[in-house]
A and B are shown apart, each in its own frame.
Chain A
Amino acid sequence: MSNHPSRERSAAESSDNKLIQTEVHADADSDQTNSSAKTVVRAEGLSVYYDDDRALNDVTIEIPEHRVTAMIGPSGCGKSTFLRSINRMNDRIPAASVEGELYFHGKNVYDDDVDPVALRRKIGQVFQAPNPFPKSIYDNVAYGLRVQGQADEVDLDSAVERALRGAALWDEVKDQLDESGLDLSGGQQQRLCIARAIATDPEVVLMDEPTSALDPVAASKIEDLIAELAEEYTVIIVTHNMQQAARISDRTAVFLTGGKLVEFDDTATVFEDPADDRVEDYITGKFG
């Protein structure tokens, strides 16, 4: 199947926040992985092109629910492209096009009847550099709920508190919720962004190098938080820091140059006895 996300963006994103027209439920048509956890995201022969350049090459993978899955590989290997393809953030790049299928709970997210905005409510994202809005801490967290029209349906105060607690930030900011999110430290800002991402109660949280802009202490708090998040959410994290992948993930996917997924296994296996010699060479630093 071929797809041209940019063309359908405006129609899809202007929809009135009805979820995917074919409603996607957590238990609908889910696959089972051999590691006993349910598959929440599954790619089948997924390729992503930027114009004629293939950034992701025929990737097939099953990502288990309530686990931390790490994506590692050298620069330009396609790992961030893969991450962005899960919640259709690549739609925002006009030159990007997608081949193959990407299933979220058994529903191909590139089907015409899928609303990317609704999809992103289920699959939140945290970026490399903390990027809070120039708004109060409270408004940063409430933003998604308001935009998605959920503000009237839920108790906003308790939803904000729940998200900030979930991001291990509540105790540090509960007395300054009206202050600007930009006044927080870098590590706090990133946790604020995590709170913003989980406020809309997604099932999957995508993280693209979420600690690379942070000092080691702030980074370790985020790492602790990621482990806690996995109890409630499925976390997929792209990282350049292999030790971080080893420390925090249950499963590790290794992408190598050319956008190919060359190994996907339990993290302990990848770092103790990788099956592919190229992976061995990459993670031991013999190339890359």
Chain B
Amino acid sequence: MARNEYQQQLETLRADILEMSAVVCGRFRQAIDAYEAKDDELAQEVIDGDYEINQLYLDLEQDCIELFALQQPVAGDLRFIAASFKIITDLERIADLAVNLGEYAQQAERDRYPDVDITHIGTETIGMVEAAMAAYADEDSQRTYDVAAMDDEIDAYCDRTSRIVVRDLLDGETEAVETLLDDVSRMLLTIRDLERVGDHAVNIAARTLYMVDNDDELIY
């Protein structure tokens, strides 16, 4: 096989991106645990660890740029690197949302909204990210459609839970409204951030589908 070193660089990029996704998903699960357990220390670990992921992101971005510049990839190689270049941005954003979740964990009042299952939403959405990355690793286009379908369910669930929170606000006494305001807005932001994680999972799936089949159906 010609261009052995180049092929090796592509394999290294693939392995590095899968490692980055493992780190990001691990951090996000830590943030969910911190939220669930109201563990300020664990939440702080997630927040403090973000710089590592930022650095990983910048390194991988540079690797992609170098491959574009020095190897002028085409065809399947081009789609792989182009998709990877976009996917690392999604992973980096997911890590930022893990930091947000860590901060919400430190600020949140427990049990104010027992009907809103943050752990459930978080577990589902990070599961979508893992499924999308598995599709990327295995070049499995069918699985990318599965991820897109899961997002519709998550969106609907997030919509329902947001309504519960808003209704709670509307139904409250005037005095209580003032005191609830911080918690309500923080809870709405938490739901929205988790829903965003699902959107990033769909982005990853969409880029993976482009990578595997040159199909832009899931890219909006």
Number of interface residues of A (CB under 8 A): 15
A272: interface (CB < 8 Å): yes
Interface hit among A142-150, A212-220, A277-285:
A277-285
Compute how far the CA of A242 lies from the CA of B71 in the bound complex, rounded to whole angstroms.
12
A271 contacts B2, C-beta separation under 8 Å = no
A272 contacts B1, C-beta separation under 8 Å = no
Q: Which of B3, B7, B74 has the most CB of A within 10 A?
A: B74
Residues from chain A with a CB closer than 8 A to the CB of B76 are: 280, 284
Residues from chain A with a CB closer than 8 A to the CB of B214 are: 272-273
Number of interface residues of B (CB under 8 A): 14
Within 8 A of B (CB), among A240-288: 242-243, 246, 271-274, 279-280, 283-288
Q: With A243-B72, A272-B214, A273-B214 in contact, is A286–B3 under 8 Å at CB?
A: yes
B1 contacts A284, C-beta separation under 8 Å = no
Identify which of A243, A274, A279, A285 contacts B3 (C-beta below 8 A): A285
Residues from chain B with a CB closer than 8 A to the CB of A284 are: 3, 73-77
Compute how far the CA of A272 lies from the CA of B2 in the bound complex, rounded to whole angstroms.
20
Q: With A272-B214, A273-B79 in contact, is A283–B74 under 8 Å at CB?
A: yes
Identify which of B1, B72, B78 contacts A286 (C-beta below 8 A): B1
B79 contacts A286, C-beta separation under 8 Å = no
B51: interface (CB < 8 Å): no
Residues from chain A with a CB closer than 8 A to the CB of B1 are: 286-287
Residues from chain A with a CB closer than 8 A to the CB of B78 are: 271-272
Residues from chain B with a CB closer than 8 A to the CB of A285 are: 2-3, 6
Within 8 A of A (CB), among B51-88: 72-79
Q: How far is the CB of A168 from chain B (nearest CB, A)?
A: 26
Identify which of B6, B7, B75, B79 contacts A283 (C-beta below 8 A): B75
Residues from chain B with a CB closer than 8 A to the CB of A283 are: 74-75
Compute how far the CA of A283 lies from the CA of B214 in the bound complex, rounded to whole angstroms.
16
Q: How far is the CB of A58 from chain B (nearest CB, A)?
A: 25
Within 8 A of A (CB), among B1-41: 1-3, 6-7
Compute how far the CA of A285 lies from the CA of B71 in the bound complex, rounded to whole angstroms.
10
Compute how far the CA of A286 lies from the CA of B73 in the bound complex, rounded to whole angstroms.
12
Compute how far the CA of A284 lies from the CA of B76 in the bound complex, rounded to whole angstroms.
8
A286 contacts B2, C-beta separation under 8 Å = yes
B74 contacts A288, C-beta separation under 8 Å = no
Q: How far is the CB of A34 from chain B (nearest CB, A)?
A: 20
Q: Which residue of B lies closest to A279 (CB)?
A: B75
- A-B contacts, 8 listed (Cβ < 8 Å): A243-B72, A272-B79, A272-B214, A284-B73, A284-B75, A286-B1, A287-B1, A287-B2
- Nearest 6 A-B pairs (CB), nearest first? A273-B214, A285-B3, A271-B74, A280-B75, A284-B77, A283-B74
Question: Residues of B at under 8 Å CB distance from A?
Answer: 1-3, 6-7, 72-79, 214
Q: A246-B72, A271-B74, A284-B76 are in contact. List 4 more A-B contacts (CB 8 A).
A: A271-B78, A279-B75, A285-B6, A288-B2
